[in-house]
Structure 1
Amino acid sequence: MNPRILAATTGRILRQLRHDRRTVAMLVAVPTVLLTLVYFMYVDQPTPPGGPSVFDRVALIMLGFFPFIIMFLITSIAMLRERTTGTLERLLTTPLRKIDLLFGYGIAFGLAGVLQSTLASLVAFQVFGLDTAGSQWLVLLIAGLNAVLAVALGLLCSAFARTEFQAVQFLPVVALPQLLLCGLFVPRGEMAGWLQAISDVLPLSYAVEALQEVGAHADPTGTMWRDVAIVAGAAVAALVLAAATLRRRSG
C-alpha cells in the first residue's frame, strides 16, 4: 500500500460520507433507537439472583451486533455504487491500487462504525444504566472492532453482487447465522456438535464471547484478548480477500 494514496482515499470517502446526511442520520440514530426498544422490552424482567439482569446480558451483545448489521449494509451498497457508476473503473486507471481503495474504505467506514458504536455505548451506559463487571472502554473497543469487521465483510460480499438488491440479500446470509450461533440464545458449549463447529469459524462468535468476558470479569482476561485478536485478524483477512476479488465494474 502507498500511505499517501491510502490517506487521500480515506479522506475522499469520509468527505462523501459527511455529505450523505441520510446515511449519517442512520449511523447515529438507528442503534440508539434499537437499544431503546431492547431496554423497554427487558426493563421489567426479573433479575436472576446473583446474575446480571436480562437487559445487561442482551444489550451488551446487541452493542456488538447492531453496528455489525448497519455497517455491513451501508458499506456493501457504497462499494457497489462505485462499481455500477463506473467510478471504480476510473479510479483504477490512476496509481490507486485495489488494496489502497479497500483499506481506505475500511479505515473511513471503520471510523464511522467506531463513532456509531461509541454513541450507542454511551447511551447504553449513561442513559439506560447498562452494568458490566469490566471497563466500559473495553466494551467500546470490542464494539468498534466489530463495526470494522462488518465493514470488511461488507466490502468482501459487495464484490459478488451485481445490484444493490443482491448486496442487501447478503445481509441475512452473513449476519443472521452469526446472530443465531453466537451464543446469545443458546450457549455455544450446549449446541449440537455440528452447530458448534460452524459457530467456531464465525468471527461474530468471538466478538460476543469477548463482550461476555467483559460483562463477567472486572479485569481483561486472556480469552478476551484472544477473541479480540481473532476478530481483528478476520477483518484484515476479509479486506485482503475483498481486494483480490474486487471487479472494476458490476455485470
Structure 2
Amino acid sequence: MNTRTPAAPSATATAAPAPAPVSAARTLATAARVLRQLRHDPRSIALMILVPCVMLFLLRYVFDGSPRTFDAIGASLLGIFPLITMFLVTSIATLRERTSGTLERLLAMPLGKVDLIAGYALAFGLLAIVQSALATGLAVWALGLEVVGSAWLLLLVALLDALLGTALGLFVSAFAASEFQAVQFMPAVIFPQLLLCGLFTPRPAMQPVLEAISDVLPMSYAVDGMNEVLRHPDITGDFVRDTLIVAGCAVLVLALGAATLRRRTA
C-alpha cells in the first residue's frame, strides 16, 4: 500500500503577489501610461479641455443683455463644469481599463493599489490643471467675469472641483458594466448635487430636509468656495473650510476607489 503523503500544492500557483510598498516610480509610470492612452483619444481630450470653455463662452452671451447675471452664476459654473466633465471622462476611461482586463493584469503584478489609483489621479489631475487654467483665464480675462477676490483663488477651487470629479469618476466606474451604465451614474451622482448646491436658489431658502442633504454634498462647498472669492477680497475662514472639505472629499473618494480594486487570487 502506498503511504506517501501527497505533495502540498505550490503556494505560488494560486497566491496573488504580495502588495508592494508605495512607490513614486510606479505611480509615475502608471500616470505616464494613462496619458499615452489619452493622447490617442482626441475626443476625450476635447471634452476635458474645450467643453468647459465653450459652455462658459455660450453662457456669457446668453446673458449678454444682463452681464450681472453672468457675474452672479459664472463663478459657480466655473467650478461645476470641470467637475462634471472630469467625472464623465474619468468614469468612462477607467471603465474601459476594467472591461478590457488592463486593470486585472496590472493588479496581478506587484503593483500597489495606492500606486495605481494615485497614477490615474495624477494623470487626470494634470489634465484638470490645464482645463481649470484655461476655463478660469477665459472667464476672467476674456469674458469679463468680475470677482472681488483673486483669480488665483478661483483657479484653486476650479482645480479642486476637477479633482473631485476625477475621484468620483474613478469610484463609480467600479459599479458600471458598460460605458452606457457609466453615463447613467451622472443623473444619480451629479444631478442631485447640481440641484441642491445653491446654484438656483440659496441653500438656506430650501426646504429644511433638502438643505440638510445639501450640507453633506461636496458640490455645495465647491459653489460656496467660488462665491467667497466672488464677494470677498481676502481669504476668509469660510473659504478655507470650503476648500478643505472639497479636497477632503476627493481624497476620501479616491480611498474608496482603491477599496474597489481586487487582486486576482486564483
Q: Decide which of 145, 159, 168 is 1:144's aligned counterpart.
A: 159
The answer to whether residue 95 in structure 2 is matched with residue 80 in structure 1 is: yes
The question of whether the paired residues in 1 share the 8 Å contact of 2:197 and 2:219 is answered with yes
Deviation at 1:19, TM superposition (A): 2.7
Q: Which aligned pairs between 1:89-100 and structure 2 lie closer than 5 A?
A: 89-100=104-115
Alignment-derived partner of residue 215 in structure 2: 200
Does residue 163 of structure 1 match 2:178? yes
Match of 2:52 among 31, 42, 50: 31
- Please tell me whether Structure 1 or Structure 2 has the larger radius of gyration of its CA atoms: 2
Q: Any gaps of 5 or more consecutive residues in structure 1? A: 48-52
Query: Which residue pairs with 1:187 in the alignment?
Result: 202
User: Normalised by the size of structure 2, how large is the TM-score?
Assistant: 0.88
- Aligned-CA RMSD value: 1.3
- Counterpart among 71, 90, 102 of residue 86 in structure 2: 71
TM-score, normalised via structure 1 length: 0.93
Match in the other structure for 1:217: 232
Q: Mean Cα displacement is larger for which, 215-224 or 99-108?
A: 99-108
Contact 2:108 2:263 in 1 (8 A): no
Look up the match of 1:130: 145
Q: Which residue of structure 2 lines up, in the alignment, with residue 50 of structure 1? A: none
Displacement of 1:97 after TM fit? 2.0
Q: Equivalent residue for 2:192?
A: 177
Structure 1 residues 248 and 55 mapped into 2: Cα distance closer, same or farther (>3 Å)? farther
Deviation of 1:162 after TM superposition, in Å, equals 1.0
Structure 1 residues 163 and 133: alpha-carbon distance in aligned structure 2, compared to 1, 3 A threshold: same
Shift of 1:126: 1.4
Deviation at 1:28, TM superposition (A): 2.1
Contact (CA 8 Å) 1:159, 1:247: kept in 2 or not? Answer: no
- Following superposition, the deviation at residue 16 of structure 1 comes to 1.7
AA matched with 1:55: F
Identical columns (%): 56
Greater Cα shift, 55-64 or 23-32: 23-32
**Contact kept? 1:64, 1:143, Cα under 8 Å:** yes
Report deviation, 1:246: 2.8
Runs of 4+ in 1 over 4 A off after TM superposition: none
Q: Specify every segment of 5 or more residues in structure 2 that has no aligned partner in the other structure, as ranges.
A: 1-21
